[in-house]
Amino acid sequence: MKKLSRVLCFCLSISFLEACSTVSEVHKVPAQKANDQEYREYRQAEQAYKTGKAATALKKFTTFIQKHPQNNLTDHASFYAGQIYYDQGDYFRAARYWLYIVDGLIISEFYERALIGAAKCQMQMSRYDEALSTISRFHATDKTDRALATSAFELSSKIRLIKGDGLGAIENLVTASTYSAANDKQALLNRAADIVTGNLNQAQLEQGLGMASMQQFELLMRYRLGQILYDEKTFGGAKNVFASIVTKFPNTVQARNAQDYINSLDAQEKTDATVIGVILPLSGKYSQMGYKTLRGVQMGLGIFNRNSTSPIRLAVIDSEGSADIARRGVDRLVSEDHVVAVIGDILSKTATAIASKAQELGLPCLALAQKQDLGEVGDFIFRNTLTPEMQMQTLVDVAMREKGYHRFAIIYPNDSYGTEYASLFWDNVLNRGGEITAAQTYQPEETDFRDPIQRLVGTYYAEEDRGKELQMRLQAWNKEQAQANVPKNQRDKPPKDILPPIVDFDAIFIADSPKAVGQIAPMLAYNDVNNVPLLGTNLWDTPQIISRGGKFVENALFVDDFFSTDPNPALHKFTTEFQTQFGYMPDIFESQGYDTAVLISQVLKDSGYNLTRSLLRDRLAQAAVSNGSLGALKMNRQREVEKSLVPLTVQGSKIVKFETMSSTPR
């Protein structure tokens, strides 16, 4: 009966611990001294533990605890049982045994270590509230082991940081440093400083600046607060914070950096609404495109037009195709030239760098690159380019509304270009009530398109997918051979094209270059996919589509935003004036630069050249002009310039404008 009562006592304690991992502090009493037999039992368990026999030791320790719940060796057994479970990753059971020591009635030398161990277990189980409650019961005194105190306050700091209490985490690390060895003290304070610079939000920083316990981190807190306010474009508040650093903490690295921020803010406050910055690759392998774009911008601003009365000036920087140079260029345009906006770049990597810095400085930026999601950098970023979305919307609209196509097949390379255009085409077809009946991908380096096309039209896996139809056609072929009196041993093998392709589509969209089209189109015909029109992207707007595709691309359909022979009156006016001014016919780069310049200059002119950068951003978001190189231009809700695209087709081995119903005179 005595043994049963002890087991019951232990089980009740464990059940209590499962329900509540911490209890209020209780009055503890000295343990009963173990007798010789009990000591021998404990020593057997301890010996097994020290010799690495964890399973045997665990069994002996738990048996000892059940038999002797209140002697002076029970806490030893409980501590080591918890350690074994912890080492095995069983944090739940480890915590139970360590909390048995913490919440028990017996005074134990293992109390503090068990308290720390239990909190670690609760943290490992993501029970952070319980872990913090447990470790908060640690009370250091003059007699407390300094290493244990350091460990306890470090653990409390980790838990508080996980819970989002960065200030509490810092205070714990500062306390831990007072107990740590001299060579560890600075490491703990450095960790506290890292929390200041990396984990505290604006509200916490402002609160921390009013706390006496945070005095040694005041400089770091002020500097980080200034950075946050600057990034959020609360420039007045940022300037005040940085000014306080310069005054209160002179001759520090932070003071020098704070002064740089102040200088930048002063430069930003000074804006010349008649100066526009341009960042383009004017040297290197992209220089030709850069200069073509720049000439378009110059014409759009009327810079070389003697009759122009525009006061606008350009500040030009060569990006050299470098993101770092482009980023520093934005700083220079703001601090030295006080530009009201920046145009550029045509390259994705530099355009991203420019947009990021412009957004940081609150500078309107009109990007010319096709980089996806560029507008998501922020509300100061606008874009004027032919985007994949624009192309696919217009292409599908013309194909379905004007051509009457309803069902489509898609074949595309498995790369970023192919997948993006294929996905957009597919989405637009479905949104308009059309149907994609077949889709097939291929590797970008593919040169033999036989297999992809046979998969597209259902002749590659004939036996698996069309077995019954194949057997019927083979039987019919054998019957024809028999009727022709061809002996079986003299018959040729059945023709490879005995199973005709499934052509259940009105057109095929190919998301690739003219080079690939020149290989795909003939292979389609070879596989009896004849007279099915092809659809493509603006990459097809080049003589190569005809030289490579030949007769197979006749009646192909694609779109572009610039077509030099388009009878569009606006385009004719633009190309004539450009050729007169610069001596050659413009193309898409000049057109894009011109349209961007016309749009921004009109907004500035309407305001009397008296706009702040923020006001210019707001006006650009609603901008619309009628005198673009192709006609009307309008900024949409995605801060992208909308313009009419030109549908193109191939007729008589020439690329010509496809005359839609809306463009055909009545």
Q: Is residue 574 part of a domain?
A: yes
- Domain's final residue, options 92, 124, 156: 124
Q: Is residue 97 part of a domain?
A: yes
**Torsion of Cα atoms, 372 then 374 then 379 then 381, to 10°:** -130
Same domain, 430 and 554: yes
Task: Write the CATH number for 16.
Answer: 1.25.40.10
Same domain, 262 and 335: no
Give the whole-angstrom CA distance, residue 252 versus residue 255.
5
Confirm if 382 and 367 have CB atoms less than 8 A apart: yes
Q: Which residues pair with 411 in a beta bridge?
A: 440, 510
Same domain, 409 and 532: yes
Q: Is residue 652 part of a domain?
A: no
SS3 222: helix
- Token pair of 272 as six digits: 């010349």
- pLDDT given at position 5: 34
Q: Is residue 641 part of a domain?
A: no
Same domain, 629 and 546: no
Please choose, from the candidates 445, 452, 650, the residue with its C-alpha nearest in 3D space to the C-alpha of residue 550: 650
Q: Is residue 69 part of a domain?
A: yes
Q: How many of the other CB atoms lie within 10 Å of CB of 552?
A: 18
- What single-letter DSSP state applies at residue 139? -
SS3 458: coil
Q: Give whole-number Cα distances, 82 to 6, 63, 155, in Å.
A: 20, 14, 18
- Domain's final residue, options 99, 124, 149: 124
Q: Is residue 134 part of a domain?
A: no
Same domain, 424 and 547: yes
Same domain, 153 and 40: no
Give the whole-angstrom CA distance, residue 112 versus residue 141.
12
What pTM value is reported for the model? 0.60
Phi, psi of 141 (to 5 degrees): -130, 180
354-362 long-range contacts, CB within 8 A, separation 24+:
354/279, 354/319, 354/326, 354/327, 354/329, 354/330, 355/381, 356/327, 357/327, 357/330, 357/331, 358/330, 360/231, 361/264, 361/268, 361/330, 361/331, 361/334, 362/233, 362/235, 362/268, 362/613, 362/614
What residue type is assigned to position 170 of the chain? I
Same domain, 358 and 234: no
Same domain, 432 and 546: yes
Confirm if 536 and 510 have CB atoms less than 8 A apart: yes
Phi, psi of 630 (to 5 degrees): -115, 0
State the 10-residue block means of pLDDT for the chain, 666 residues long: 34 38 60 90 93 93 91 93 95 94 89 95 95 94 90 96 96 94 91 95 95 94 94 86 96 95 81 94 94 95 81 95 95 92 92 92 92 84 91 96 95 93 96 94 91 81 54 64 64 62 92 95 90 94 93 94 84 92 92 95 91 91 90 91 90 89 44
- DSSP states of 575-641: HHHHHHHHSS---HHHHHHHHHHHHHHHHHHHTTS---HHHHHHHHTT-EES-SSSS-EEE-TTSBE
Q: Is residue 556 part of a domain?
A: yes
Give the whole-angstrom CA distance, residue 125 versus residue 438.
50
- Token pair of 405 as six digits: 């196509």
Give the whole-angstrom CA distance, residue 287 versus residue 318.
9
SS3 53: coil
Confirm if 98 and 83 have CB atoms less than 8 A apart: no
- Domain's final residue, options 171, 199, 227: 199
- DSSP states of 492-548: PPPPGGGS------SEEEE-S-HHHHHHHHHHHHHTT--S--EE--GGG-STHHHHH
Q: Is residue 56 part of a domain?
A: yes
- pLDDT given at position 467: 52
Burial class of 643 by CB neighbour count within 10 A (0 to 12, 13 to 18, 19+): buried
Give the whole-angstrom CA distance, residue 35 versus residue 616.
89
- Token pair of 476 as six digits: 């019919």
Residue recorded with tokens 């002009």: 625
- pLDDT given at position 642: 87
Q: Give whole-number Cα distances, 379 to 363, 386, 585, in Å.
A: 10, 20, 35
Task: Write the CATH number for 323.
Answer: 3.40.50.2300
Give the whole-angstrom CA distance, residue 623 versus residue 288.
30
Give the whole-angstrom CA distance, residue 495 versus residue 146.
89
Burial class of 84 by CB neighbour count within 10 A (0 to 12, 13 to 18, 19+): buried
> What total number of domains does the chain contain?
5
Same domain, 626 and 593: yes
Tally of residues, the chain: 666
Same domain, 17 and 115: yes
SS3 387: coil
Q: What's the sign of the alpha-carbon dihedral 186, 190, 191, 192?
A: positive
Enumerate residues 6+ apart whose C-beta is below 8 A from 240: none
What H or E segment, with its residue span, contains residue 654?
A: strand 654-657
Confirm if 594 and 656 have CB atoms less than 8 A apart: no
Same domain, 248 and 282: no
Q: What's the sign of the alpha-carbon dihedral 613, 619, 621, 624?
A: negative
Structural domain span for residue 261? 201-267
- What single-letter DSSP state applies at residue 23? -
- pLDDT given at position 486: 63
Spell out where 295-368 has E strands.
313-318, 341-343, 365-367
Same domain, 366 and 312: yes
Phi, psi of 310 (to 5 degrees): -70, 135
